[in-house]
C-alpha cells in the first residue's frame, strides 16, 4: 500500500509548534497552564570535546556528530548549564534563502512538478526548486515565468540589470527586461531582518495588500509547448476549459518572420476564477475577447498539447505565503544577555552545545517551569573573603567524601562555583557522590583549595533570598530543574563559544518538520 506524509503536514506541524507557545486571548500565563507549551533554549558542555566520552576522538574544533539516543540525552542533562524561555514571538516559519543573482536560470512556479515533470533545476517538487528569490531590498518574489518556450525548454538566464524590485504592496505581475515575470509576496521589516534572517534562511511574512488582492484560481501563466505549423495568421481568443470560469487566453499566430504560420505568443487575457485545472482547445477559438465569434486557426485536431495552463495555488498567489513557499521550518531566536536571570546564564564561561527543551520541570517537584531563566547546574558558595580561583573545565575533588565534579564557571565576585557530575572515570568513582559539608574542595588543575560556606542559606541570617538567580541551602545549591524533566527536542554540538559581559550571544536554531 502506497502512502505519503505530505509537505502540507510539515507546514501544519510548524504552525502548530509556534501556536502551542501562544497564550489564548484573554488568558494569563499562570492560568493558561497546560494550554500552552513552555519552550526554552538551553546551553551546555563547558568542557572541551577532547575529554570524557570523546577523548581521543574529537577535537575542540571538530565537535562530535549528535546522536539520537538515550545515552546522549543523559549526557546533555548532566552538563547542561542554563536555559532561557522563549515565546511565540521568538519563533517564525522560515524558508531557504535564495538571493537573486544575474546569470542564473530560476525555476518558475508550476503546480505539477513530479519525477516525470522536473523543474529547470532538476527538482521533482516545487519546494525543492528555485522558484522564489530575495532581492537587495529584502523583498521576496515568486518567479511566475522564466522564459520557458519550445526553444528554451528550461528557461533563460537572468540579466545583470534585471533584478526584480517591487513598489510597496504591488499586486501586479512584474516583468523585468530579461523577460522574467515575478510576483511580489512581501517585504521584510528591519526587525524581521535582524531577528530571523541568516545566511541560509529568511522568515515567512505577508503583505496585507497582496493577501487581500489575491483571487482564488485566477490564471496568470500559459506556456507554449509547441508552436505548430501552417496555422492561419491572426489574433485569437480561447476559453480556459476547466472547473473555473471566465478565463480567456490570447493567442497570436504570425504571418512573417521565424514564427510565420506558428504561435508566436500566448498570454492570459482574462484570469477568471476558481480554476484547479484548465486546458486550451485550439479547435475552439474566437476572434473576439468575449469568445462569441468563432474563428479557425487551422488546427484540425484537438490542440490542447500546444499550450499548458499553469494553475495558481489555492487562494491565489500571495494569499498564504507559508504554504506557497514551503514554510515547514521554524527558526528560534534567543539572545543571551549579561543580566539574564540575574546570573542564571553566567558570563565568562564557554559552552559547546545548545538546543531546545520543552516543558522542563522545577527541581524536586512535578511543576513545569515558567520562569524566564533557569540554572541547570549545581553550585557551591564560598566565603566572601576567599581569594583563590578555580579553573573552568578542571576536575574538583572533595577527598573526605570522595565527591568529584567538573567546574562549569567560577564567579570570583560572588564566590560561587558551578559544576556538574557525570558517569566518566576521573569525575567520580563507583556511585555518584554529592559534595557535602564543610570538607575542603581541591581543583586538580589550579590546585585551589576552598571550604564551602555551610553557614550560607538563601533568605536567612541576612543573606539575600537568592544570589545570581539560584537558591542555596547550607552552602550548596541544586539545579533549578529536574534531570530528565521535560523533553529535549533539538540540539547542536558546536565549537566553543565564549561568553563575556560585553557581548550578547544571538542564537538562531532552525528546526525542520
The per-residue pLDDT for range 258-290, each reduced to its tens digit, is: 999 999 999 999 999 999 999 999 999 999 999
Name which of 25, 47, 24 is nearest 36 in CA terms.
Answer: 24
Is residue 16 classed as helix, strand or coil in its secondary structure? helix
Whether the predicted pLDDT of 326 surpasses 60 = yes
What was the pLDDT predicted at 56? Answer: 75
Whether the predicted pLDDT of 162 surpasses 70 = yes
Contact 203, 185 (CB under 8 A): no
Question: What rounded mean pLDDT belongs to the chain?
Answer: 89
Burial of residue 106 (number of CB atoms within 10 Å: 0-12, 13-18, 19+): buried
- pLDDT range class, residue 460, cuts 50, 70, 90: low
pLDDT average, residue stretch 103-132: 96
Percent of the chain with pLDDT over 90: 66
Contact 63, 495 (CB under 8 A): yes
What was the pLDDT predicted at 35? Answer: 52
pTM: 0.86
The per-residue pLDDT for range 402-459, each reduced to its tens digit, is: 899 999 889 888 899 999 988 875 555 567 889 999 999 999 999 999 999 999 998 6
Whether the predicted pLDDT of 108 surpasses 80 = yes
The CA distance from 454 to 385, in Å, is: 14
The cell for 285 is 477559438
Whether the predicted pLDDT of 59 surpasses 90 = no
CA distance to 177, 197, 280, 331, per residue, from 85 (Å): 49, 21, 56, 15
Whether the predicted pLDDT of 186 surpasses 90 = yes
Whether the predicted pLDDT of 60 surpasses 80 = yes
- pLDDT range class, residue 305, cuts 50, 70, 90: confident
pLDDT average, residue stretch 337-344: 61
The cell for 276 is 484547479
What was the pLDDT predicted at 157? Answer: 97
Domain boundaries, the chain: 98-197, 221-310
What was the pLDDT predicted at 332? Answer: 93
- Ranking 175-179, 190-194, 250-254, 477-481 by mean pLDDT, the lowest is 477-481
What was the pLDDT predicted at 97? Answer: 98
Contact 257, 191 (CB under 8 A): no
Whether the predicted pLDDT of 236 surpasses 60 = yes
Amino acid at each position: 500500500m502506497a502512502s505519503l506524509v505530505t509537505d502540507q503536514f510539515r507546514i501544519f506541524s510548524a504552525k502548530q509548534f509556534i501556536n502551542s507557545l501562544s497564550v489564548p486571548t484573554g488568558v494569563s500565563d499562570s492560568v493558561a497552564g497546560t494550554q500552552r507549551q513552555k519552550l526554552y533554549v538551553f546551553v551546555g558542555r563547558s568542557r572541551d570535546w577532547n575529554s570524557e566520552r570523546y577523548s581521543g576522538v574529537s577535537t575542540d574544533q571538530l565537535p562530535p556528530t549528535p546522536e539520537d539516543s538515550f545515552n546522549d540525552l543523559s549526557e546533555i542533562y548532566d552538563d547542561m548549564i542554563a536555559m532561557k524561555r522563549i515565546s511565540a514571538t521568538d519563533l517564525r516559519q522560515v524558508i531557504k534563502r535564495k538571493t537573486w543573482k544575474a546569470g542564473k536560470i530560476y525555476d518558475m512556479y508550476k503546480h505539477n512538478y513530479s519525477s516525470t515533470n522536473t523543474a529547470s533545476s532538476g527538482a521533482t517538487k516545487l519546494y525543492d526548486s528555485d522558484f522564489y528569490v530575495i532581492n537587495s531590498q529584502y523583498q521576496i518574489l515568486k518567479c511566475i515565468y522564466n522564459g520557458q518556450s519550445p526553444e528554451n525548454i528550461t528557461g533563460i538566464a537572468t540579466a545583470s540589470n534585471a533584478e526584480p524590485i517591487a513598489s510597496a504592496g504591488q499586486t501586479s505581475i512584474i516583468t523585468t527586461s530579461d523577460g522574467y515575470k515575478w510576483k511580489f509576496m512581501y517585504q521584510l521589516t528591519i526587525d524581521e531582518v535582524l531577528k530571523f534572517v541568516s545566511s541560509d534562511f529568511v522568515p515567512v511574512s505577508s503583505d496585507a495588500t497582496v493577501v487581500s488582492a489575491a483571487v482564488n484560481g485566477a490564471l496568470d501563466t500559459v506556456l507554449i509547448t509547441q508552436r505548430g505549423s501552417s496555422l492561419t495568421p491572426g489574433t485569437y481568443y480561447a476559453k480556459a476549459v476547466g472547473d473555473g470560469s471566465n478565463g480567456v487566453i490570447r493567442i497570436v499566430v504570425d504571418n512573417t518572420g521565424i514564427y510565420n504560420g506558428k504561435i508566436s505568443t500566448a498570454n492570459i487575457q482574462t484570469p477568471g476564477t476558481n480554476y484547479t485545472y484548465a486546458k486550451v482547445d485550439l479547435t475552439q477559438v474566437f476572434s473576439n475577447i468575449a469568445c462569441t465569434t468563432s474563428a479557425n486557426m487551422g488546427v484540425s485536431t484537438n490542440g490542447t498539447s500546444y499550450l499548458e495552463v499553469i494553475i495558481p495555488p489555492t487562494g491565489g498567489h500571495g494569499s498564504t505565503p507559508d504554504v506557497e513557499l514551503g514554510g515547514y521550518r521554524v527558526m528560534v531566536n534567543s539572545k543571551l544577555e549579561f543580566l539574564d536571570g540575574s546570573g542564571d546564564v553566567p558570563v565568562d564561561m564557554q559552552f559547546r552545545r545548545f538546543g531546545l527543551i520543552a516543558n522542563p520541570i522545577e527541581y524536586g517537584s512535578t511543576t513545569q517551569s515558567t520562569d524566564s531563566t533557569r540554572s541547570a547546574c549545581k553550585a557551591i558558595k564560598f566565603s566572601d573573603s576567599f581569594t583563590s580561583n578555580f579553573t573552568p573545565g578542571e576536575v574538583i575533588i572533595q577527598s573526605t567524601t570522595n565527591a568529584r565534579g567538573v567546574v562549569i564557571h567560577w564567579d570570583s565576585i560572588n564566590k560561587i562555583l558551578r559544576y556538574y557530575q557525570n558517569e566518566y572515570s576521573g569525575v567520580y568513582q563507583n556511585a555518584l557522590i554529592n559534595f557535602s559539608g564543610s570538607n575542603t574542595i581541591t581543583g586538580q588543575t589550579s590546585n585551589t583549595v576552598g571550604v564551602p560556606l555551610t553557614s550560607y542559606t538563601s533568605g536567612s541570617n541576612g543573606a539575600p533570598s537568592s544570589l545570581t538567580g539560584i537558591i542555596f541551602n547550607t552552602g550548596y545549591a541544586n539545579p533549578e530543574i529536574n534531570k530528565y524533566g521535560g523533553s529535549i527536542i533539538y540540539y547542536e554540538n558546536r565549537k566553543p563559544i565564549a561568553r563575556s559581559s560585553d557581548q550578547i550571544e544571538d542564537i538562531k536554531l532552525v528546526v525542520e518538520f
